[in-house]
């Protein structure tokens, strides 16, 4: 009996439990909320917001305000200095460093012991449970898992308290038994210099029997490119013959899929999307034939949603999971056992089904372009680029976009800075296909593009090789979970990148 066949049996009870997601979603969520309120009632936040008298969702939503990071920052900073029982019972030692807000370079998301095990590790476990269910012939555990991680550093010099990328926190706290089936070694995985780490990972894993990959597609691709350089091989399966799955998350996979399919040509290579963030683990692609993900409902996460057409208004509608509609774009709120209460995570989602609750990530509440009423979101951009690539044979590696509010001729347009791994032969045709496809999928964009009256045809600037990596390196954000903002109403980011593009 192979190791995978033996371990597979361990996942059977959980696979049975997961079936409740398909039939009892509302009850699972009500149970989670009840548990969170009970455990949070003796915290300072719980006492201030009448947790002890809350009978259910209606009381909870009435007593607790919707929060952004700014509202919770003061309490989180006290927790980082060692205070106990503020947002969650006890002392929280770990803080996931996430991209900043309007006022700060970074956010520090508390990761409690409960959150670590009941949210983050549960998500990783369930990813494997679904994968083994879907692929009975898997030999996943007969080899090693290549898991990319970030780095961490001391938190206010408080003993035993650290801040860092979520992936580094997970690796630091992982069950020692898991280190028997993962690579690289812990010291390498937690290096802060990504370029040094990339090289060491490649050297350490070259001769290993790697069967599965986990990480952000862009950073994993960089590591795999180094593996290919060292090996001198043409395809990854020549280095690791038993490679079978890539568990990916963090950024949309669409721009990278073609490159992975060219790098790994074996027909039985699988890809599974995960939705894990610094704030929690929220979704899994449970069905390989369905690109949407199943919302995970029995972790320590309670979900609420604000329709995006009301987001930012004085009194927006907020609905629990059982109040959502398919096809509508929502901003997501979470309450978790890390002490985030009715917290606006910043992601936007659209439900494709409510029985079970399945969804796609459509973008970020702040990463969109709406300079002229066009309401262009990341999901539109990803679909438009995928279409243009499919029609022209081009491959997009990285991109960002922003509005040109008015040029010397008084014209307005969207400007796209795109780094191609394979440039289209005819850039103007690529731009035209991209533009027309976005008009087909976004009626507001189509209306603003009508007869070129409000918006002129989009402009594409080709980025030099490694421009986006160089920008991230300059920002001290190379590697880990950092990613390039895709869309912005401001030109701050694109102008920095354009300046660097001209320097070379």
Domain membership of residue 12 (yes or no) is no
Domain membership of residue 95 (yes or no) is no
Interhelix angle 378-392/427-441, nearest 10 degrees: 140
Examine the domain organization and report whether 462 and 475 are in the same domain: yes
Tell me the average pLDDT across 463-475: 91
* Residue 451 pLDDT grade (very low, low, confident, very high; cuts 50, 70, 90): confident
* Residue 481 pLDDT grade (very low, low, confident, very high; cuts 50, 70, 90): low
Residues 365, 349: Cα–Cα separation, whole Å: 10
| Confidence check: pLDDT of 283 > 90 | yes
Range of the domain at 215: 115-284
Residues 97, 108: Cα–Cα separation, whole Å: 5
- pLDDT score recorded for residue 286: 97
Total H helices, total E strands in the chain: 19, 21
Of 341, 363, 385, the one marking the end of a domain is: 363
Higher pLDDT, 165 or 121: 121
Tell me the average pLDDT across 241-252: 92
Examine the domain organization and report whether 177 and 306 are in the same domain: no
Task: Quote the percentage of the chain above a pLDDT of 70.
Answer: 96
Examine the domain organization and report whether 341 and 309 are in the same domain: yes
Of 339, 363, 387, the one marking the end of a domain is: 363
Of 249, 284, 319, the one marking the end of a domain is: 284
Residues 320, 61: Cα–Cα separation, whole Å: 9
Q: Are 494 and 415 in contact (CB under 8 A)?
A: yes
Domain membership of residue 93 (yes or no) is no
Sign of CA dihedral 429, 433, 436, 442: negative
φ and ψ at residue 332, rounded to 5 degrees: -100, 135
With a CB cutoff of 8 Å and minimum separation 6, the contacts of 172 are: 152, 162, 164, 186, 190
Q: How high is the mean pLDDT of the chain? A: 91
Task: Convert the pLDDT of each residue in 150-177 to its tens digit.
Answer: 777 887 778 878 888 888 888 888 887 7
Residues 451, 260: Cα–Cα separation, whole Å: 39
Examine the domain organization and report whether 50 and 167 are in the same domain: no
Task: Convert the pLDDT of each residue in 258-271 to its tens digit.
Answer: 889 999 999 999 99
- pLDDT score recorded for residue 102: 42
Sign of CA dihedral 462, 464, 468, 474: negative
Cis omega (within 30 of 0) for bond into 356: yes
Domain membership of residue 123 (yes or no) is yes
Angle among Cα 244, 250, 253 to the nearest 5 degrees reads 55
User: How far from 99 is each of 440, 443, 473, CA to CA, in Å?
Assistant: 33, 31, 14
- pLDDT score recorded for residue 28: 98
Domain membership of residue 305 (yes or no) is yes
Q: How many CB atoms lie within 10 A of CB 315?
A: 6
- pLDDT score recorded for residue 105: 55
Tell me the average pLDDT across 372-400: 91
Q: Are 226 and 239 in contact (CB under 8 A)?
A: no
Domain membership of residue 67 (yes or no) is yes
Domain membership of residue 104 (yes or no) is no
Residues 145, 166: Cα–Cα separation, whole Å: 18
Q: Which of 161, 72, 157, 153 is nearest to 109 (CA)?
A: 72
* Residue 407 pLDDT grade (very low, low, confident, very high; cuts 50, 70, 90): low
Tell me the average pLDDT across 409-413: 75
Tell me the average pLDDT across 330-343: 98
Read off the tokens for 356.
Answer: 């079970």
Interhelix angle 194-205/217-231, nearest 10 degrees: 50
Domain membership of residue 234 (yes or no) is yes
pTM of the model: 0.81
Tell me the average pLDDT across 301-324: 94
* Residue 421 pLDDT grade (very low, low, confident, very high; cuts 50, 70, 90): very high
With a CB cutoff of 8 Å and minimum separation 6, the contacts of 195 are: 478
Tell me the average pLDDT across 322-330: 96
DSSP state of 463: P
Examine the domain organization and report whether 262 and 169 are in the same domain: yes
State the DSSP string of 88-138: SSS---EEEEEE--SS-SEEEEEE-HHHIIIIIIHHHHHHHHHHHHH-TT-
Q: Name the pairing type of β-strands 106-111 and 329-336.
A: unpaired
Examine the domain organization and report whether 234 and 331 are in the same domain: no
Examine the domain organization and report whether 135 and 214 are in the same domain: yes
Examine the domain organization and report whether 204 and 127 are in the same domain: yes
Task: Quote the percentage of the chain above a pLDDT of 90.
Answer: 70
Question: Containing H/E element for 259?
Answer: helix 254-263
Interhelix angle 254-263/217-231, nearest 10 degrees: 20
Task: Convert the pLDDT of each residue in 193-231 to its tens digit.
Answer: 888 999 999 999 999 999 999 998 878 988 999 999 999
- pLDDT score recorded for residue 409: 62
Task: Convert the pLDDT of each residue in 438-450 to its tens digit.
Answer: 999 987 888 788 8
| Confidence check: pLDDT of 53 > 90 | yes
In CATH, what number is assigned to the domain containing residue 188?
3.40.50
Q: How many CB atoms lie within 10 A of CB 419?
A: 22
Higher pLDDT, 311 or 255: 311
Hey, what's the torsion of the CAs at 416, 421, 424, 429, to 10 degrees?
Answer: -20
Total domains in the chain come to 3
Examine the domain organization and report whether 423 and 451 are in the same domain: yes
Residues 353, 273: Cα–Cα separation, whole Å: 17
Read off the tokens for 459.
Answer: 């402009």
Residues 50, 45: Cα–Cα separation, whole Å: 9
Examine the domain organization and report whether 247 and 138 are in the same domain: yes
Tell me the average pLDDT across 127-140: 97
Examine the domain organization and report whether 177 and 252 are in the same domain: yes
Examine the domain organization and report whether 341 and 375 are in the same domain: no
In CATH, what number is assigned to the domain containing residue 375?
3.30.300
Hey, what's the torsion of the CAs at 198, 204, 206, 209, to 10 degrees?
Answer: -120
Task: Convert the pLDDT of each residue in 63-116 to its tens digit.
Answer: 999 999 999 999 999 999 999 999 999 999 999 987 654 445 578 999 999 999
């Amino acid at each position: 009996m192979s190791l995978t066949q033996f371990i597979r049996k361990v996942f059977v009870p959980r696979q049975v439990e997961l079936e409740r997601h398909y039939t009892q979603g509302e009850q699972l969520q009500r149970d989670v909320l009840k548990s969170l309120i009970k455990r949070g009632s003796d915290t300072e936040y719980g006492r201030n917001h009448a947790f002890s008298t809350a009978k259910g969702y209606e009381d909870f939503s009435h007593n607790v305000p919707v929060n952004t990071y700014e509202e919770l920052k003061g309490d989180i900073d006290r927790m980082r200095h060692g205070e106990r029982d503020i947002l969650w019972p006890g002392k929280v030692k770990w803080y996931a460093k996430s991209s900043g807000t309007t006022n700060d370079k970074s956010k520090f998301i508390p990761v409690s012991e409960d959150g670590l095990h009941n949210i983050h590790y549960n998500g990783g476990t369930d990813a494997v449970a679904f994968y083994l269910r879907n692929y009975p012939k898997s030999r996943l555990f007969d080899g090693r898992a290549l898991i990319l991680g970030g780095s961490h550093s001391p938190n206010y010099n408080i003993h035993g308290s650290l801040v860092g990328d979520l992936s580094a926190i997970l690796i630091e706290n992982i069950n020692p038994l898991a280190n028997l089936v993962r690579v690289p070694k812990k010291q390498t995985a937690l290096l802060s210099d990504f370029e040094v780490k990339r090289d060491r990972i490649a050297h350490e894993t070259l001769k290993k029997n790697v069967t599965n990959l986990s990480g952000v597609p862009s950073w994993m691709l960089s590591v795999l490119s180094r593996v290919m350089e060292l090996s001198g091989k043409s395809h990854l399966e020549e280095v690791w013959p038993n490679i079978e799955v890539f568990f990916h998350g963090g950024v949309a996979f669409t721009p990278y899929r073609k490159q992975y399919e060219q790098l790994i040509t074996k027909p039985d290579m699988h890809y599974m999307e995960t939705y894990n963030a610094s704030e929690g683990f929220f979704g899994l692609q449970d069905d390989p034939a369905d690109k949407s993900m199943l919302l995970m409902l029995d972790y320590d996460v309670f979900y609420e949603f604000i329709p995006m057409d009301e987001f930012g208004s004085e009194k927006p509608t907020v609905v629990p999971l059982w109040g959502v509609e398919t096809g509508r774009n929502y901003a997501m709120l979470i309450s978790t056992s890390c002490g985030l209460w009715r917290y606006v995570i910043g992601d936007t989602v659209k439900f494709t089904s409510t029985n079970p609750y399945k969804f796609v990530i459509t973008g970020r509440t702040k990463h969109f372009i709406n300079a002229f009423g066009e309401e262009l979101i990341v999901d539109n951009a990803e679909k438009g680029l995928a279409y243009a690539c499919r029609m022209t044979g081009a491959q997009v590696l990285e991109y960002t976009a922003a509005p040109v509010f008015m040029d010397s001729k008084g014209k307005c347009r969207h400007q796209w800075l795109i780094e191609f791994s394979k440039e289209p032969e005819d850039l103007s045709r690529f731009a035209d296909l991209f533009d027309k496809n976005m008009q087909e999928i976004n009626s507001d964009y189509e209306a603003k593009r009508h007869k070129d009256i409000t918006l002129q045809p989009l402009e594409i600037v080709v980025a030099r090789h490694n421009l986006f990596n160089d920008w991230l390196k300059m920002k001290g954000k190379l590697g880990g979970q950092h990613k390039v903002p895709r869309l912005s109403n401001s030109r701050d980011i694109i102008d920095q990148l354009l300046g660097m593009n001209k320097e070379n």
